[in-house]
Amino acid sequence: MAALRTPFPTDRWVGRKTIAVCSHTGYCLTTAYESVLYQTINCDPYVKNLGQKVYHGSPGDTAFTGTVCSATCSTALSTARRRIAGSCASTPELFQGYPVLSPIDSITAGWNETCLKDANGGYCNAKIEAFDDFEELVDMPKDQLCSFCYGEKLRMMQRSPYSTYDSLRAETLQYINENCGGTTSPTDPQLPVITPNGTVPETCATGVKYTAQAGDTCNSIAKAKSISGSSLYYINPSLVDCDAPAAGSELCLPLTCETTYDVKEGDGCVAIGVDQATTWQNIIKWNSGVDDRCSNIWSSPATTPYWGNVICVSAPGEIPDGSVVSGNGTVVDPPSTGTVAQGTTELCGQYFQVQEGATCSSIIAGNAVPINLFLRANHSLRNNESCSQYLRVGLWYCLLPVRDFDSSL
């Protein structure tokens, strides 16, 4: 069993904004506070994924599920939480709107959903996944509808503010309460404990900000501005509801693309790439937030995260209508006060010097730069997984390359 270190990338906010002590972003943590946040936890590496706000099903076969759900890991998670709560009592928030316990609590909530067992010791997710398919709840066999696993999984999700429990699942739980007898349970979703301040990051890489209007959706904004809906969602931590962005909220717009595509249920990156005369790798590269396996290319209001269905199928590279960004169309001279990292593009309109404690996540989050764009402009950083490992303190990197900087690559 491998040892993990907290804080894990638990969701798109906490994972991107977790930083080291007194980093260049201005967040300063005490030594004791930092040490418990970065403690080692004795769990399988898979557990780090359980803090993501997605539906948590079976991680694999029974043997692997047993490894993920070991008693050792359960104890380690409890111990980690106790240490964080004790050491950070005087600092309840990691930063504004993010409780210090949220990284470990979100992982524990996902672990509980993953590892739920029935009275016979069987994993509930495996049993639920073996249920018959049905269109309506009224068609579901009663022994399945009223089973311990089906009801308790929903109740567990309802009790957690980190789960994907929503109004649709609330209707299902209410139906169980009404038709399965026994003690009824609450059905209302929990209020979120992570409450971003709702403002656009101080630095918007494109320089173009859009004020959401009543009736807007991520899809309507993406179509109107010719941008990727997933990139829009990814670079705006305050954008919680893509079906109804808060009217008056200010959003940073990503780079535009010449051609967008409305993803349909059942679409895959390979098929989309073939249809659009490009590659599936480009589909992933051009749409921040689409994972390396392209497993989340389709999203719906019933899934989390939901970013809409509009993606870029040509390379982003133009500034959205309405502004001119200094440097985006003009190459600036490299800084005279230091050294530019090897492999960094010379076609750059804005440079960034790495300070002690910086990570790729903190850089792109603090400047609203898509990770794919940042990596393309700085080849020495290699890929998303190794990016922070290859950052060098004191070197300058290209934060905002000029449009079409890599068109000849």
Give the domain CATH number at 345.
3.10.350.10
157's enclosing H/E stretch is helix 148-159
pLDDT at 24: 28
In a domain, 105, yes or no: yes
Give CA–CA dist 54/42, Å, rounded.
23
Sequence-distant (6+) residues with CB within 8 A of 91 are 29, 30, 33, 100
Backbone angles phi, psi at 26, to 5 degrees: 100, 0
Crossing angle of helices 167-179/148-159, nearest 10°? Answer: 140
pLDDT at 74: 94
pLDDT class for 13, splitting at 50, 70, 90?
Answer: very low
Exposed e or buried b per residue across 355-373, where buried means at least 16 C-beta atoms within 10 angstroms of its C-beta: eebbbbbbbbbbbbbbbbb
Give CA–CA dist 108/7, Å, rounded.
12
Give CA–CA dist 396/340, Å, rounded.
4
In a domain, 124, yes or no: no
Q: Are residues 276 and 334 in the same domain?
A: no
Q: Where does a domain end: 81, 99, 115?
A: 115
Q: How many CA atoms lie within 13 A of 73 on its CB side?
A: 26
Q: Are residues 291 and 330 in the same domain?
A: no
In a domain, 344, yes or no: yes
Average pLDDT over residues 144-149: 95
In a domain, 245, yes or no: yes
Cα–chain center distance at 175? 31
Q: Are residues 16 and 93 in the same domain?
A: yes
Q: Are residues 339 and 302 in the same domain?
A: no
Give CA–CA dist 124/122, Å, rounded.
6
In a domain, 363, yes or no: yes
In a domain, 58, yes or no: yes
Nearest to 36 by CA among 111, 73, 91, 75: 91
For the chain, the domain total comes to 3
Q: Are residues 293 and 243 in the same domain?
A: yes
Residue 43 belongs to domain spanning? 3-115
In a domain, 183, yes or no: no
Beta carbons within 10 angstroms of residue 148's beta carbon = 14
Q: Are residues 248 and 277 in the same domain?
A: yes
pLDDT tens string 158-190: 999 988 887 778 889 999 999 998 778 899 888
Range of lowest pLDDT (48-52, 92-96, 249-253, 261-265): 92-96
**267 or 85, greater pLDDT:** 267
C-alpha distances out from residue 242 to 24, 299, 367, Å: 31, 11, 21
Q: Which is it for the CA torsion 12, 17, 237, 197, positive or negative?
A: positive
Strand 260-262 vs strand 310-312: parallel, antiparallel, or unpaired?
Answer: antiparallel
Is 316 within 8 Å of 254 (Cβ atoms)?
yes
In a domain, 159, yes or no: no
pLDDT at 115: 97
pLDDT at 21: 29
Average pLDDT over residues 66-86: 91
Is 256 within 8 Å of 318 (Cβ atoms)?
yes
Q: Where does a domain end: 99, 115, 131?
A: 115
Beta carbons within 10 angstroms of residue 142's beta carbon = 9
Average pLDDT over residues 62-86: 91
Q: Where does a domain end: 280, 312, 344?
A: 312
Give CA–CA dist 125/138, Å, rounded.
21
Q: Are residues 251 and 347 in the same domain?
A: no
Q: Are residues 52 and 95 in the same domain?
A: yes
Average pLDDT, the chain: 79
Amino acid 213 reads: Q
